[in-house]
Each structure stands twice: as C-alpha cells, then as structure tokens.
Structure 1
Amino acid sequence: MHIVAVLALDQVVPFDLATPIETFSRTRLPDGAPAYEVRICGPAPEVDAGAFTLRPPWDLTGLADADTIIVPGRSANPPVPAPVVAALRAAAGRGARIASICSGAFILAETGLLDGLRATTHWAAAPELARLHPMVEVDPDVLYVDNGQFLSSAGAAAGLDLCLHLVRRDHGSAVAADAARMSVMPLEREGGQAQFIVHDTPPAPRGSELEPLLAWLEENCASELTLPGIAGHAGMSTRTLNRRFREQTGTTPLQWLLRARVRRAQHLLEATGESVDRIAGEVGFGSPTAFRERFKRVVGRSPQAYRASFRA
C-alpha cells in the first residue's frame, strides 16, 4: 500500500496538518479498499500545534520507507532541525515524492531540494520565500506546482487541491473525483492564487517626490491619462518621469495606472451590481474588451468569474 507520511514540526498549522490526513485517509479504491496508509511523523514525542499538543505516533523513522511525504506549513519559520533536513534529503535520495503545503515550502526549500525548481507558497509569504531562497523560482499566482518528485501548494485550501492532484496521479480521475466528493470539493478549481490577491499598486517611499503624483493618479485613474499628460502634471519630462518611477516604484507610470484601474474595478465588482461594460468605462478603460483582457492578465480570471466568487 502507498505510504503517506505527514511531517509535524513545532508551530505546525493544524489546517495544513489535517488536510492530507483527512484526504488520504478517506480515499478508497474502486473495490472499497483504503488507497493509502497515513502516518503522522515528528522529530519529538510532543509537537506544539498552538491550540493543542500533538503526540505523533511515528518519529522520523516513519519517513524512511514512505512513498510520499507531506510537509505542512508552520505559523513561524525557525530553522529546520538538522535531523529533519537529513531525513528529507535521504528520502529524496531514494526517490520519495515530497510535497509542501503553504509555508511548508520554507522547510522544503531549506533542504536545498527546491533549488533550480519552480515552487509556490501562500501569496503573502512568496516575497519572503524568494528573498531567503533565491535559487528557487517562486510563482505566487498558482494553486500548486508539480515538478514530478517535488511539489508545493499555496495557502490553506490549496493544500486540498494538491492532495487531490496526488490522488489523481496515483489512482486516476475516478478515484480522485470520489475523494473530492467526500471533501465537498471540485476536483479542479478555476484560476490560481492571483484571484485572491489584493493587487496593491507599488507605493513610492513616504515623503518622496512621487507621493503626491501617485495620490493624484489614484484619484484620477478613470480619466483619459497619457504619459505626456502625467509628466506635464508632475512638471517633468517623460524620460525623467519614467526613470524616477522605475527607481521609486519598480514599474512604469502606465503600468502603475493600469494596476490602479484593476484594483478599482475589483472593488466595484465586489460592492456593486453594475455591468462589466459600465465598470470598464468607470475605471478608465477605453473598451470592455481591453478591460477584460487586462483584468484577467492581472487577476487570473475574468471579471464575471471574479464577481461570482467575491461579491458580498
């Protein structure tokens, strides 16, 4: 039987821990037999899980013959204990499949096993993962990444997406669909993490010469603004404006403006019943088609789909 070992370290996030336990424990083959043996493994007899203390039935030896190892996230990210790093590297060396959930990517990255690979984590933690592990290609916009032997998922519910994906890899779509039904979960969710991110426009440093200009752009993002017009308002040449925008916000004036318009559109889609075409005009897009294309590029799904998910 396929053995799934779930690693439990101090500060483990209970949701991340429970997701693979429940998913794999409840998965059944067509004849009704269990599809997986699930082990909870920890480096110590007791694990601090915040709201409760966990006593893992297995120590790290439970990883030694596991076919799949799941690494849940932690509420804090202290250094990973050396025995855990060694156990994960040893498991990888013999070909075990290792998958992280949410901030579990920090643990997996600390082993070096993600170096040179694409990975994801919760979108709010993605910049920190990229900073601490520059050899990892961090993609904050997807629900999970499958590199074959090493996988990673975004925050919270995306761990369930990843677990169902692993079931489908192991036993096919029919078994995975049944596991999804048991979790009252679609086998595949539309879109990625981008739909859940508040797309703030990059700020200028407080007190910088661009701060008043950005406030003006925010207030007037629905107007027909051009680069020469923005530069004229700022009292700069277009070349100087572009250079200072790059230096202080990391983007161009027009890209900043487009993102501000998308952010305003997200608010209107959530808070009003106005049509998508009307919103396109209200936030400054010349055509509904251009608005839909830009919105989907930034957010990861169409305005209609976004509204269906997030309208209050």
Structure 2
Amino acid sequence: MAEPHQADDGHGPGGGLAHRVPDLGALELLLAVARLGSLGAAARELGITQPAASSRIRSMERQMGLALVDRSPRGSRLTDTGALVTDWARRVVEAAECFDAGAQALRSRRDSRLRVAASMTIAEYLLPGWLLALRAERPDTAVSLHAGNSAAVAERLLANEADLGFVEGLSVPTGLDSVVIAHDHLIVVTAPGHPWARRRRPLAASELAATPLILREKGSGTRQVLDSALGGLARPLIELSSTTAVKAAAVSGAGPAVLSELAVREELAMRRLVSVPVEDVALARDLRAIWPTGHRPVGPARELLSLTRG
C-alpha cells in the first residue's frame, strides 16, 4: 500500500505535539492490531466496534501522514512503517503506564490522610457526625483535627497546615475561598436563677451590649458576630477559650453568655440554662468551609465537604 501524500496540514515542525502525535487510545489500538493480527480482534479486546477501530486507525494515519495498516479480506497487518511506529508506540504507552502508576501513588499518599481545622462550635457539635460518615466511606484515611477559633483556622489553611477548614465568622480572609454549609443562631442564655431568666419582656439590644458577658476570646467567630450585631460590647465579665468553658460558666451562674443554639440544646431541654429573647437584633450566622484560593478540595477533603452539605 502506497504511503499517503503528506499535505501541508500542520504536521511540520510547528503546531505542538498534541496536534502531531496520536492519543494513547489510538496507540493502544495499534499495539493490539500488531499483537493480534486482526483489527476486529483488537476492537473486541478494547471494547469498541470494528468500524470505530477502523475509523480510529484511518484518523491516526491522516494525522501522521503515514500508512500504518494494510487491510485485506484475510485480515489486517502492519506496513513496514506501521511496524516501526508500533515500536515507538510501545515505548510511549509504557511511559504512560509509569506516569499513571506514579500519579496513583501520589493520590494514594494524599488520600491516606486528611488534616482538618475547625472553629470550636463546629468541631464540638457538627464535625464528629461528619467524620463518622467519612470513616464509613474511607476507613483507611487517617484524619487529624485541630480545633481553635476562626482566626486560627484561617491561619492554618494559609500556612498549608490543614487541607480543609470550617469557620463561623463574618468574613473569609484574603487568600481563602469558601462555601456556606449550614446556618446557625446565637442565643442569650443564663442560669435559671439569673434575673434575666424571669424577664417578661425581651431584652433590648442596647442592654445586652452594655452588660458584661461571659465571652469567647477575640478571634472567635461567635464573638465577631455578636460584636458586629450589637455595634460593640462591654468589657467581658469572663473571657474563655472554648464553647464548653463558656457554657459551663453560664450553667454555674457566673453570668449571661451568648452561645450557638447547637451548643446548648441539651442544657435548655434540662433547664440548666434558660434562653433570653432579644429584640431588634439578628444573631444569625453562616457556617462555612474554607480552603486556599485556587485549590478546590480533592480526595477525602472533597468527600468531607460533600458530607457537610448533604
């Protein structure tokens, strides 16, 4: 079979390899034809129809400007040029297999661990359920969790010390992307013996702002939302570094506190704490997943993110 005439079709030195070199699927087909001696058998092995295989060979021949396969009623055989190209194709496919094995090893190493950073409320009241669900899907993935305030979570993401973070503040620092995964409400709570527990009218926002409260430390999402909603806060009665500590202080009667409704459901149900209505102020907030800008979560981080939104 004569070599096809090579026209000026971009197969010269320019155009880039992607335009001049056949794709892996075509090279694998050519290798199968060489090994099996039949285009039909090669098509069956690769799970495609014979017309599709024949079309792919013709397309490869046009792309390269070379005749690779002689077709006859007795079957298909490689031309002398096709045999030479097949030797080159084998090296390319072997290199691609090494490339794939290396990429798989990197994915396996990535998927073997997941570093999560979360603000206290999310870490204590939402993440345990999400992580149990993730473990059911990925039992071989080792998960480490760092709990801190929202500012600390953002710092860990920016320092590449976490793969995925969860925060409850008002804004996301520069360099991080985010998505809202849930909504939360802050409520004012006191011990049953506190005077506010016996109020018949809602608490005014101005009175709440002027009252020393049991508060989380600066940098916490809860405090950011409260400070913004009230336009400023009085000097804290007590400043503590965890939601659990704030709740325990409120239960003891030390004073009023503002906490996520997620954190106080049990205490409210058992009347260890009492919710105090507040008028003319919205204490709602978004809970967000965050990650470094331009690095959308992949692997276990992506699966965890999907679970939080489910």
Question: Shared fold by TM > 0.5?
Answer: no
Higher relative contact order at CA 8 Å, sep ≥6: structure 1 or structure 2? Answer: 2
TM-score normalized with structure 2 length: 0.23
Which of the pair has more CA radius of gyration? 2
